[in-house]
Structure 1
Amino acid sequence: MTKFAVTHVGSLPRSQEVVDFIFARERGEDYDGADFDACMARNVAATVARQKEAGVDVVSDGETSKISYATYVKDRYTGFSGDSPRNAPADLKMFPGFLERLANDGGTPKYARPMCTGEVRSKGQGELQKDIDNLKAGMAAAGVERGFMNAASPGVISLFLQNQHYPDREAYLAALADAMRDEYETITSAGLDLQLDCPDLALSRHMLFTDLSDDEFLKVAEMHVEALNHALANVPQDRVRVHICWGNYEGPHCCDIDMAKVFPILMKAKARYLLFETSNPRHAHEWTVFRDRRADIPDDRVLVPGVVDTTTNFVEHPELVAERLTRFGGIVGADRVMAGTDCGFGTFAGFGAVDPDIAYAKLATLSEGAALARDCA
């Protein structure tokens, strides 16, 4: 029987020790670089070990050293400075009382989102190489054979670090694609899979492009995928994962664009593994999009549905996980489905709706459900 391999979207809860170091760097405070590096290495090893214990087959470094999955680029690339105004998603604006409650309860993470104010160029891959070395060392210690590393897509960088330098969005995306190319190639050359985080293909519809029609937004999203594919020109497709989502937050999500509309664009991404939300109650029904458009899913794609949620502290029953997985196994075959999570559990350093221990309990139930789904396949 085919075993459903288990993975997740990437970010995991960081220890307080890690968070303190990251925010010392974020605030420009003095800290010991050697101590910082030792802390990251130690915590990545622990994070990999906990993933192995939970039954995860394809592990990550938990994005341990990064302030967030997108804005970390400000520390590794030139051209970013200052800060930018926050723009809440449209669904939260519809319910201002709930938005205020989130803000008052600390539900809105606070970190710098600088603007692009100059030419975007890499400062070198030194920090990335440390992340790679830490992950590979952790994998070796835990006896894990396969790992992946997250990287920001050109589109998501343009969403969170908006342009004040390049003449237009297309030029900015082109510059980002050229700048990020080496990062992508460095990750895969190290023997790791590359995951591109692309919430810009869905979340940005109700966050940044609310003034556009759906059709107009889809043209923007297509431009984002073209820039991404350009950056991946030298990266083997079978080493690439792409993650799409509508925002990793508990909220109404009633302004989300339908999966049916972004589906064709997702299929154009140069990626073998497609990660997407299916536990989010606003999108749980959309497994039928994949069923009804089976002919439009290229034969070389592997579907990685999010079969556990990452915004609540419910621990899903393994039988529910298995049920969700077998739906997709029935569409493309069990050998082309992996068990995943809706989003990350530590999208922003020091912020997460899910208790750290419960996050790993969710990964354990993910593994249990994948085993049940194998038996049903």
Structure 2
Amino acid sequence: MTKILTTHVGSLPRTQEVVDFIFARENGEAYEQSAFDACMARHVDEVVARQVAAGVDVVSDGETSKISYATYVKDRYTGFSGDSERNPPADLLKFPSFLKRLADGGGTPTYRRPMCTGEVKVKDHVDLNKDIANLKSAMANHGAQRGFMNAASPGVISLFLQNAHYAKREDYLAALAEAMREEYEIIIAAGLDLQLDCPDLALSRHMLFNDLSDDEFVAIANTHVEALNYALKNVPEERVRLHICWGNYEGPHVCDIGMDKVFDTLMQSKARYLAFETSNPRHAHEWTVFRDRKADIPDTKVLMPGVIDSTTNFVEHPEVVAQRLDRFTAIVGNERVMAGSDCGFGTFAGFGSVDPDIAYAKLSSLSEGAEIASKRS
């Protein structure tokens, strides 16, 4: 029996104390740095302990200290100021009453999204090194053997922090790739796996590029992968994970581009582990894309299907998890499948539709389902 390893996409629910500190920093309010640092360290230790208890094999720091998976870069890199235009997903614009309900109910997170108004360069790696130290300490404390740390891709930064400085989009992507390269290499040098968050390869189709055809969008997505691969030029592919998604929100998702359209783009990335959504009702059928295009999946790739959903409080039965995994192990075998989640459970600080305790119950079910699937594959 080859054990199917378990992991998730990265972000996990934060405590109110963590959220309060993050928004104090975000809003320029007074706080004690030593107290902030101590709080982050405590919380990372707790989330790693809970992942280990839930049976997760490859753990993360829960993205504890970050305001969000993409906009945290504004605090670590120069060149960002002002505010970027908000672009609601096209599917929500088709259902304005639902969009209003989300907004009125606090279902749309509020945080700063400055624009790129100057040259993008590294400020320092102080926050990054603190995140790494907290994760490695927590792993040692709780016996976690393998960990990963998230980082924003050049493409997703360009999606949320839009360009008002560089002459062309390609120039902005190139600058972001060069700036982010150091962050990626530091994470790898610390002995952690690197996860690149890339919703720009799918979500941006119906946010920023909804006036284009699918083929025109795919051409842009390919330039995003080219920039990412450049940033990874000194990083071993076997240590890299890439997450693609269509937006971590409950909604109609009727404007999502299909996996069949972005499949080739995904396979071109310099990442061994490919994380993607397969649990939500809009994309659950797309496991057949991988089945039908098995010959086009490089032997070096490991599939990380999301076998638990991150937008509802249903706790998936372990047998459901196992059945979802069965579909992929039948295609590439146990050793090339890692069980994951559709997306994160704490994508934005203070925002998440899944109750924290239920999020860990889902991770426990994930592990139980992976064990079932491992035994029968």
Deviation per residue, 1:108-134 (Å, 9 max, x gap): 000000000000001111110000000
Whole-angstrom distance in 2 between the partners of 1:334 and 1:42: 35
Q: Which residue of 2 aligns with 1:96?
A: 96
Residue aligning to 1:216: 216
- Which residue of the partner structure matches residue 328 of structure 1? 328
Determine the structure 1 residue equivalent to 2:259.
259
User: Matches of 1:366 and 1:100 in 2, distance apart?
Assistant: 34
Kindly indicate whether residue 68 of structure 2 is the aligned counterpart of residue 68 of structure 1. Answer: yes
**Letter aligned with residue 140 of structure 2:** A
Corresponding residue for residue 304 of structure 1: 304
Question: Partners of 2:22 and 2:129 in 1: how far apart?
Answer: 17
- SS of match in other structure, 2:249: coil
Please name the residue that 2:225 is paired with: 225
| 1:49 aligned partner, one-letter code | A
Which AA in structure 1 matches 2:161? Answer: L
Cα distance in 1 between the residues matched to 2:86 and 2:232: 30
For 1:63, give the aligned amino acid.
E
Equivalent positions of 1:15-164 (< 5 A) are: 15-164=15-164
Distance 1:326 1:146 in 2: 24
Other-structure match for 2:342: 342
1:162-173 correspondence to structure 2 within 5 Å: 162-173=162-173
SS at match of 1:247: coil
Letter in 2 for 1:324: R
Q: What do residues 317-360 of structure 1 show as CA deviations (whole Å, max 9, x unaligned)?
A: 00000000011000001110000000000000000010000000
- Give 1:286-297 correspondences, 5 Å limit: 286-297=286-297
Deviations 1:288-340 (A, max 9, x none): 00000000000010000000000000000000000000110000011100000
Distance of 2:349 and 2:170 partners within structure 1: 30
Q: Report how far residue 85 of structure 1 moved.
A: 2.5
Tell me the secondary structure at the aligned position of residue 341 of structure 2: coil
Aligned-pair identity (%)? 76
**CA shift digits 1:166-199 (9 cap, x unpaired):** 0010000000000000000000000000000000
SS of match in other structure, 2:241: strand
- Residue identity matched to 1:337: V
Question: Residue 183 of structure 1 aligns with which residue?
Answer: 183
The corresponding residue for 1:280 is 280
- Partners of 1:108 and 1:258 lie apart in 2 by 24
Please give the secondary structure, in 1, of the residue aligned with 2:123.
Answer: coil
Which structure 2 segments of 5+ residues have no match?
Answer: none
Point out 4+ residue stretches in structure 1 off by more than 6 angstroms. Answer: none
1:182-228 Cα shifts (integer Å, max 9, x gaps): 00000000000000000000000001001110010000000000000
Distance in 1, matches of 2:168 and 2:105, equals: 37
Distance 1:376 1:325 in 2: 11
Question: 2:103 and 2:20 mapped to 1: Cα distance?
Answer: 22
- Per the alignment, in what secondary structure is the counterpart of residue 303 of structure 1? strand
Partner SS, residue 276 of structure 1: strand
Measure, in 1, the Cα distance between the counterparts of 2:18 and 2:83: 23
- Cα distance in 1 between the residues matched to 2:202 and 2:323: 25
> How much has 1:87 moved relative to structure 2?
1.1
Give 3-state SS (helix, strand or coil) of 1:307's partner.
strand
Separation in 2, partners of 1:9, 1:84: 26
Q: Distance in 2 between matches of 1:353 and 1:119?
A: 36
> What do residues 25-58 of structure 1 show as CA deviations (whole Å, max 9, x unaligned)?
0000010001100110010000100000000000
- Over residues 235-263 of structure 1, what are the superposed CA-to-partner deviations in whole Å (9 max), with x where a residue is unaligned? 00000000000000000000000000000
Give RMSD over aligned pairs.
0.4
Measure, in 1, the Cα distance between the counterparts of 2:274 and 2:289: 14
Distance (whole Å) between structure 2 residues aligned to residue 145 and residue 195 of structure 1: 17
In the alignment, the residues of structure 2 paired with residue 100 and residue 170 of structure 1 have an alpha-carbon distance, to the nearest angstrom, of: 35
Q: TM-score, normalised to structure 2's length? A: 1.00
Q: Secondary structure at the match of 1:12?
A: coil
Aligned-partner Cα distance in 2 for 1:126–1:105 = 36
Once residues 35 and 323 of structure 1 are traced to their aligned partners in structure 2, the CA distance between those partners, rounded to angstroms, is 45
Alignment of 1:245 onto 2:281? no
Determine helix, strand or coil for the equivalent of 1:72.
Answer: helix
For residues 184 and 84 of structure 2, what CA distance do their matches in structure 1 show?
27
